[in-house]
């Protein structure tokens, strides 16, 4: 009996790794890494020291997590997208956000042609381009969705490097969006103070804990598993339609139903499932191979740095032709690159609470469209 490959043992360790990552992410020296990166790193250490199965002796449990847990995570995280609330975002914010999305696509494509990662050891480089496009339009849920569709997650070493680069560059740009408005206001000041956006939108920044009930969780799981089943059926009968796109479309439809919106727990469950999924990704990581192919990570870093640079130049450069509200442009860019939560925090930090809700809702648009655009980019490059 091989103890370290038994499903119950493996499941126990994976869950404890999630607990460890959440705990460490709140500590002084680890909070900048984020729980997602920590869980990958911790699982990789355990796999490479023999305490978790790696890609060499992967148990069937890993396959089940890839097939069911990852799509469920995507379902739950997208279930928070409320398309009807877009009316509160305001036209200026939406325009800047869409400009930022276009800038991301330009950066991903240009970086692909400049560095030719497909010729320098980056496996499925076209899919990686789609992953970075998706994540810098609406967040990591899109990166994982595109990765799941193309099977990039099975290359644990490369996927860990992709996530590490995403975290590093994304964190740097978050800091940049906090600093740039004050610098640009000195160089190119607005002719007049930008009008504040006033709305009567509901407070979507509530930090109250979700009240999870047994019936609520049951309904959410039934909807999630049913949606995965529908996406698999559609993909079986219409192979040209990626299952992840069907999953995304059905989820967005369900997310607009008032009854579904009232059910609590989707965000908590979704984030938990993402961490479990990423723990398995970390277990697939072969550290020896990563060290031997460290230059691939460096190439990814340069590629993504160029992508973000192009995104920044285009959104701030072209955006300035329409408005000198640097805070608005910065929040829109942050919503692209980092997602809903940090966009709201950034708006508050910049002294613009009027931009908090529009930034969050613009990030929700990114969650909704990022996977679609990411796959379009990947298919174009394929």
pLDDT tens string 49-102 = 889 988 777 888 998 988 888 889 888 877 877 777 666 667 889 999 999 999
Place of tokens 């849920």: 141
Q: Is 178's pLDDT higher than 60?
A: yes
Confidence at residue 292, expressed as pLDDT on a 0 to 100 scale = 60
Confidence at residue 88, expressed as pLDDT on a 0 to 100 scale = 61
Confidence at residue 103, expressed as pLDDT on a 0 to 100 scale = 97
Place of tokens 């160089």: 187
Helix (H, G, I), strand (E, B) or coil at 283: helix
> pLDDT tens across 106-130, in order?
999 999 999 999 888 899 999 999 9
Confidence at residue 309, expressed as pLDDT on a 0 to 100 scale = 96
Nearest alpha carbon to residue 135 among 94, 101, 112, 109: 101
- The answer to whether 108 touches 376, Cβ cutoff 8 Å, is no
Residues 6+ apart with CB under 8 A from 138: 336, 339, 363, 365, 366, 367, 368, 369, 370, 371
Residues 6+ apart with CB under 8 A from 378: 126, 127, 129, 130, 131, 133, 146, 150
Task: Categorize the per-residue pLDDT at 48 as very low, low, confident or very high, splitting at 50, 70 and 90.
Answer: confident
Confidence at residue 323, expressed as pLDDT on a 0 to 100 scale = 85
Confidence at residue 244, expressed as pLDDT on a 0 to 100 scale = 78
Q: Is 339's pLDDT higher than 90?
A: no
Mean residue pLDDT of the chain comes to 85
- The answer to whether 31 touches 167, Cβ cutoff 8 Å, is no
Neighbouring C-beta atoms of residue 257, cutoff 10 Å: 11
Confidence at residue 150, expressed as pLDDT on a 0 to 100 scale = 93
Q: Is 201's pLDDT higher than 60?
A: no
Instruction: Give exposure, 227-253, as e/b (b: 16+ Cβ within 10 Å).
Output: bbeebeebbeeeeeebbbbbbbbbbbe
- The answer to whether 363 touches 340, Cβ cutoff 8 Å, is yes
Q: Is 330's pLDDT higher than 90?
A: yes
Q: Which range scores top for mean pLDDT: 105-109, 318-322, 349-353? A: 105-109
Q: Is 28's pLDDT higher than 50?
A: yes
Instruction: Give exposure, 198-216, as e/b (b: 16+ Cβ within 10 Å).
Output: eeebeebeeeeeeeeeeeb
Instruction: Give the C-alpha separation, 58 to 52, whole Å.
Output: 9
Residue 297 φ then ψ, to 5°: -65, -40
Kindly state the DSSP code that residue 277 receives in the 8-state scheme: H
Instruction: Give the C-alpha separation, 20 to 38, whole Å.
Output: 9
Task: Categorize the per-residue pLDDT at 290 as very low, low, confident or very high, splitting at 50, 70 and 90.
Answer: low
Residues 354-378, mean pLDDT to the nearest whole number: 87
Confidence at residue 222, expressed as pLDDT on a 0 to 100 scale = 96
Instruction: Give the C-alpha separation, 263 to 361, whole Å.
Output: 20
- The answer to whether 156 touches 283, Cβ cutoff 8 Å, is yes
Task: Categorize the per-residue pLDDT at 287 as very low, low, confident or very high, splitting at 50, 70 and 90.
Answer: low
Instruction: Give the C-alpha separation, 3 to 1, whole Å.
Output: 6
Q: By mean pLDDT, which of 37-41, 42-46, 250-254, 369-373 is the weakest?
A: 37-41
Instruction: Give the C-alpha separation, 359 to 344, whole Å.
Output: 6
Instruction: Give the C-alpha separation, 278 to 295, whole Å.
Output: 23
Helix (H, G, I), strand (E, B) or coil at 294: helix
Residues 208-222, mean pLDDT to the nearest whole number: 84
Instruction: Give the whole-number percent of the chain exceeding pLDDT 90.
Output: 38
Residues 131-144, mean pLDDT to the nearest whole number: 90
Residues 6+ apart with CB under 8 A from 132: 108, 143, 162, 166, 303, 304, 307
Residues 187-192, mean pLDDT to the nearest whole number: 72
Confidence at residue 286, expressed as pLDDT on a 0 to 100 scale = 63
Q: Say whether pTM exceeds 0.75.
A: no
Q: Is 32's pLDDT higher than 60?
A: yes
- The answer to whether 337 touches 170, Cβ cutoff 8 Å, is yes
Neighbouring C-beta atoms of residue 30, cutoff 10 Å: 15
Task: Categorize the per-residue pLDDT at 197 as very low, low, confident or very high, splitting at 50, 70 and 90.
Answer: very low
Task: Categorize the per-residue pLDDT at 329 as very low, low, confident or very high, splitting at 50, 70 and 90.
Answer: very high
Q: Is 208's pLDDT higher than 60?
A: no
Confidence at residue 375, expressed as pLDDT on a 0 to 100 scale = 95
Residues 151-160, mean pLDDT to the nearest whole number: 84
């Amino acid at each position: 009996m091989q103890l370290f490959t038994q499903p119950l043992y493996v499941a126990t360790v994976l869950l404890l790794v999630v607990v460890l990552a959440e705990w460490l992410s709140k500590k002084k020296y680890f909070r900048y890494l984020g729980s997602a990166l920590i869980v990958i790193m911790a699982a990789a250490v355990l796999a490479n020291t023999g305490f978790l199965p790696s890609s060499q002796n992967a148990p069937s449990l890993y396959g089940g997590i890839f097939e069911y847990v990852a799509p469920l995570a995507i379902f739950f995280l997208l279930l928070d997208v409320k398309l009807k609330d877009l009316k509160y975002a305001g036209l200026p914010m939406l325009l800047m956000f869409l400009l930022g999305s276009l800038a991301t696509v330009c950066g991903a494509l240009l970086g692909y042609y400049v560095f030719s990662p497909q010729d320098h050891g980056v496996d499925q480089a076209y899919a990686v381009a789609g992953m970075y496009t998706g994540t810098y339009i609406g967040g990591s849920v899109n990166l994982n969705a595109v990765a799941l569709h193309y099977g990039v997650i099975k290359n644990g070493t490369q996927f860990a490097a992709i996530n590490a680069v995403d975290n590093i560059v994304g964190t740097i740009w978050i800091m940049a969006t906090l600093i740039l408005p004050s610098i640009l206001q000195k160089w190119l000041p607005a002719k007049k103070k930008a009008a504040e956006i006033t709305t009567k939108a509901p407070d979507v920044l509530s930090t109250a804990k979700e009240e999870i009930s047994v019936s609520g969780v049951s309904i959410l799981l039934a909807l999630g598993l049913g949606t995965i089943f529908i996406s698999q059926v559609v993909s079986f009968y219409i192979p040209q339609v990626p299952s992840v796109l069907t999953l995304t479309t059905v989820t967005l439809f369900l997310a607009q139903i008032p009854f579904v919106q009232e059910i609590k727990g989707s965000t908590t469950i979704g984030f938990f499932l993402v961490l479990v999924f990423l723990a398995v990704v970390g277990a697939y990581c072969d550290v020896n191979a990563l060290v031997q192919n460290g230059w691939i990570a460096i190439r990814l870093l340069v590629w993504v740095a160029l992508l973000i640079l192009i995104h920044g130049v285009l959104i701030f450069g072209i955006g300035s032709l329409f408005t000198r509200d640097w805070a608005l442009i910065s929040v829109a860019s942050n919503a692209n690159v980092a997602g809903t939560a940090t966009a709201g925090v950034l708006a508050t930090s910049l002294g613009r609470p009027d931009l908090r809700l529009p930034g969050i809702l613009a990030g929700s648009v990114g969650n909704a469209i990022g996977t679609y655009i990411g796959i379009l980019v990947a298919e174009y490059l394929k």
